[in-house]
Structure 1
C-alpha cells in the first residue's frame, strides 16, 4: 500500500511539474484556433503522462530495456492522442469558418442559411439562433419598408389634400377682399366647410401620432355593444340622409365589452362614415354585434362592390384609399361631417382597436365588404357570477 502511494505521489509530481510549465503556453493559445487549442491540450496531457511515467520508472530502477518498452508505449499513445485531436480540431475550425461566412448574410436579401452538418451541437445551436435572428431581422426590415412606403404615400396625399382646400380658401378670400363675390354668404359657408375639413385632417393626424407614439390613454368602462352602436348610428344618420343611404342596426346583441366609450364610438363612427361614402345612393349600410366565443364582434357592412383581393391587406394602412369606388364622395351641399378624406380613418380604427387588445379585419361580402372589430368580451359581474 505504501508503495502504491509512493508511485502515485511520484507520478503526480512529474505530471504536475509539466502542467505548471505548460500553463503559460496554453494561455498564449487561448485566442488561437480550436485545432491549436486541442493539440496543445493533447500535447500537455501526453507530456504529463510521460513525465509521470519516467519519474516512476526512474524511482523503480527499471532496466534500459524495460524503460525503452515503457517509452515506446508512451510514444504510441502520444501519436494516438494527437492525431484525433488534430482531425477533430480541423473539423471544428472548418465548421466555425463556414458559420462565420454564413453569418455575414444575416440581414441580407438572400437570408441566412445555416451550414449543413455542423461538427458540434454548440455550433448547431448557434446556427439555429442566427437563423431565428435573421428571420426576425428580415421581418423587421419588411415592416420598416412598409412603414416608409406608407409614410411617403401619406405625405404625398396630405400635401395634395392640403393644397386643394388652401387654394380654394385663397381664391375665395381674394374674391371677398376685392369685392367681386356675387354671394358673400355662400363664400363664407364654403370657407367654413373647408376650414372644418382642414381641422378634421389635423385632428386625425394628431390622433394617429398619439397612437403611433403609444400615448393613447384609455379610460375603460363596462359598456353594452348595443349602446355603442346606437350612439354611432345617431351620429352618422345626417350623413346617411345626405347620401341617400339607409342605416340598418337590427342585428345587435346586447353584449358587454370593457372599452373606452369615446374612443370606441370614434371607431364605429369612422367605419360608418367610410361605409356611407363608399355606398351608392339607395344602398344600405348594416351594423351588427355578436358573440363569438370569448370575443364580441362589431361589424359594419356596406355596398361598395367589394375591394380587390390584393388590396385587402393594405386597407388599414396609413393613407390607404384604394380604388376610386372607395374614394370619399362629396356630400350634397359640400358638408364633410368631420371626415378629412385623407385616408387616416381606418388607420386610426386599427390603432384604437389594437390599444384595446382587439383586432380589426375586413372581408368581401356579396355586393360590398364587411369591416369587423373583434374585442374581448367583458367578464361577468361578480354579483352575477355568485347568483349563477
Structure 2
C-alpha cells in the first residue's frame, strides 16, 4: 500500500505541475477562439497524463528499454488524442460561429419586424383618420356643395386604393417569408409583361411628367411565374417613377447572357447614397427619415417583395448607381 501511495503521489505531483502551467496558458489565451481553447485543454490533459506516467516510470527504476516502450506508447496516445481533439474543436468552433450568426440574424429579423409593425401602423392610421374625417363630414352634412363632395369622394377612393395596396403588399410579403409562395413557372414572353407594367404605371409617370422608355428589340422569354414576374416588373417601375424627379426618364431594357435573362430598370433619381445601397431591399426602407404617406414612397415593401419573388425563382437582383441615377437589374433562368 505504501508503494501504491508513493506512486500516486509521484503521478499527482507531475500531473499537477502540468495542470498549473496549463491553467496559466489558458488564462493568457482567454481571448482566442474556441478551437484554440479545446486544443490547449486537451493538450494539458494529455501532457498531465504523460508527465505522471514518465514520473512513475522513473520512480520504478525501469530499464532504458522498458522506459522507451512506455514513452512511445504514451506518445502514440497523445497523437491520437490531439487529432481527435482538433477535429472536435473545429466542429465545435464551426457550430459556435453558426449559432452566433443565427442569433445575430434573429436579432436583425426581430428588429425588422418591430420596425415594420411600427411603420405599417403609422401608414394605416394616418389615411384611416383622413377617411373617417371625410366620411363624417359627408354624413353630417358639413360639406354640401357638389364640387367639394365630389373631391371628398375622390380622396376616399384614393385613400382606399392606398390601403388596399398596402394590405396586398403585406400579404405578399408574409407569403414569401412564411415559405407559402407556390410558383407555377411557364415560358413567359418578357416583352408582354413589361408592356403591361408600363401601361399600369403610365398615369403615375404622366402626373410627374416622367418619360417611360423601353427597348425596341432584344426581349427574350423567361422561365417564371407570370403573376409573380409581373409584380416584380411593376414594383421596380413604380419605385423608379416615385423617386425620379419631375421631367426625368425611366428606361427598361432586357437581354440574355450566360444562360440567364436579365431585366434592367434605370432612372434619373440622382443616385442612392453608398451607405444605403445594401439596405435598399430591406423591409420598410424608404431612404428618407420623413415617413408620411404624402411622400409617395408607399409602404416601403415593394423592393423587399421584389427580392423575395426573384430569389423564389432562383434568380438574383442587385442595384447600382449610374451617372444620372441608379439601375436595378434582375436575373432569372432563361426559358
Q: TM-score range by the shorter chain?
A: 0.7 to 0.9
Matching of residues 189-204 of structure 1 within 5 Å: 189-204=154-169
CA, structure 1 residues 280+73, in 2 after alignment: closer, same or farther (shift >3 Å)?
A: closer
Q: Structure 1 residue 351: deviation in Å?
A: 0.6
CA shift in 2, pair 1:329/1:195, >3 Å = closer
Distance 1:152 1:326, change over 3 A: closer
Q: 1:278 to 1:269 in 2, by over 3 A?
A: same
- Give the corresponding residue for 2:175: 210
TM-score (norm 1): 0.65
Matched with 2:206 is 241
Alpha-carbon offset, residue 138 of structure 1: 2.9
Q: Distance in 1 between matches of 2:98 and 2:87?
A: 17
CA distance in 2, matches of 1:363, 1:356: 22
CA contact (8 A) 2:46 2:81 kept: no
Residue-pair matches, total = 284
Unaligned runs of 5+ in 1: 1-32, 47-71, 93-117, 332-339, 379-388
Gaps of 5+ in 2: 1-44
Could you say what the CA RMSD is over the residues aligned between the two structures, in angstroms? 3.2
1:149 is aligned to 2:111: yes
Q: State how 1:4-153 maps to structure 2 within 5 Å.
A: 78-82=66-70, 120-153=82-115
Structure 2 distance, partners of 1:327, 1:361, is: 27
Task: Give the conservation status (yes or no) of the 8 Å contact 2:123–2:292.
Answer: no
Equivalent in the alignment of 1:271: 236
Task: Indicate conservation of the 8 Å contact 1:274/1:328, yes or no.
Answer: no
Once residues 177 and 300 of structure 1 are traced to their aligned partners in structure 2, the CA distance between those partners, rounded to angstroms, is: 45
User: Could you say which residue in structure 1 is the equivalent of 2:125?
Assistant: 163
Larger Rg over CA atoms: 1
Cα distance change of structure 1 residues 280 and 35 upon mapping to structure 2, 3 Å threshold: closer
Displacement of 1:39 after TM fit?
10
Give the distance between the partners of 2:292 and 2:256, measured in 1 at CA. 32
Change (3 A) 1:353 1:74: same
Matched, 1:316 2:281: yes
Deviation at 1:76, TM superposition (A): 5.7
Q: Is the deviation greater in 149-158 or in 306-315? A: 149-158
Matches within 5 A, 1:210-359: 210-250=175-215, 252-323=217-288, 341-359=298-316
Aligned partner of 2:333 in structure 1 is 376
Q: Structure 1 stretch 139-148 or stretch 351-360: which is displaced more?
A: 139-148
Give 1:128 shift.
2.1
Conserved in 2, the CA contact under 8 Å of 1:252 and 1:290? no
